[in-house]
A = this chain, B = another copy of it.
Amino acid sequence: MPRAGLSRDAVTDLAVELVDSSPDGFAGLTLAAVAARAGVAVPSLYKHIGSLADLRRSVALVAVTELLRRSSATTVGRAGEDALRALGREIRAFAAEHPGLYEATQVAPAFDESGQDDPASLALAQAAVDTVDVVGAVLRGFGLPDARTVDAVRVTRAAIHGFVELEAHGGFGMPDDVGRSFEALLDVLVSGLVTLARA
């Protein structure tokens, strides 16, 4: 029996491909499906990953890392309203191109109450924090009072995430152009944040 030459990264890569090509998205991530792609029996995967939950977190780390990369890339050299609009569009584009990965972006790290958190979960938590920090940096240009910054970051994340989620799950039944509605969301966000900064 020849070896398949797998590794943790190789398995994760297969899982990432699967998640974005499966009609079930992130929920379609099963060990059976990954093993089939790898040309290997299901239990063989356990030589490289600890469990399905572990693999899910690996995929989540890839997802958050990529979202962070794109978020950073699109906002460097921009400020204020310009940066916020670019960030919003980039997140929406990421979700459109990688629906499974976008879902994975919401996976929580494993909290081990014994304090023995695994490194992958720590990395995932850190990447998530970094991604939120990008939003904070983008909002610096709005001149919000320090006491309101956390609120503004939450509002921004909520608005963009909510839109992308509803869009991805077919939550918009009307035939009207969704891209236009997203621009309206950005308009509302920009003018609302400007008002919030004045309060």
Tell me the A residues contacting B by CB distance below 8 Å.
106, 108, 128-129, 132, 148, 150-152, 154-155, 157-163, 165-166, 169-174, 176, 178, 180-181, 184-185, 187-193, 195-196, 199
Q: Which B residues are CB-close (under 8 A) to A161?
A: 162, 165-166
CB distance from A120 to the nearest CB of B (A): 18
**B191 near A195 (CB under 8 angstroms)?**
yes
**B169 near A158 (CB under 8 angstroms)?**
no
Q: A158-B163, A192-B191 are in contact. Are A151 and B108 (CB under 8 A)?
A: no
Q: A158-B163, A163-B162 are in contact. Are A181 and B151 (CB under 8 A)?
A: yes
Q: Which B residues are CB-close (under 8 A) to A180?
A: 151
Instruction: Indicate which residue in B157, B174, B188 contacts A162 across the interface (CB closer than 8 Å).
Output: B157
Query: How many chain copies?
Result: 2
**B171 near A163 (CB under 8 angstroms)?**
no
Of chain B, the residue at the smallest CB distance from A195 is B191
Q: A154-B185, A162-B158, A162-B159 are in contact. Are A108 and B192 (CB under 8 A)?
A: no
**A106 near B171 (CB under 8 angstroms)?**
yes
Determine which residue in A129, A181, A199 has the highest number of CB atoms from chain B within 10 A of its CB, and name it.
A181
Q: Which B residues are CB-close (under 8 A) to A187?
A: 192, 195-196, 199
A155 CA / B185 CA spacing, docked (Å): 5
CB distance from A2 to the nearest CB of B (A): 39
Q: Which B residues are CB-close (under 8 A) to A128?
A: 173
**A172 near B154 (CB under 8 angstroms)?**
yes
A151 CA / B178 CA spacing, docked (Å): 8
Q: Which B residues are CB-close (under 8 A) to A188?
A: 155, 159, 188-189, 192-193, 195-196
Q: A154-B181, A154-B185, A187-B196 are in contact. Are A129 and B173 (CB under 8 A)?
A: yes
Q: Which B residues are CB-close (under 8 A) to A171?
A: 106, 157
A172 CA / B173 CA spacing, docked (Å): 29
CB distance from A91 to the nearest CB of B (A): 12
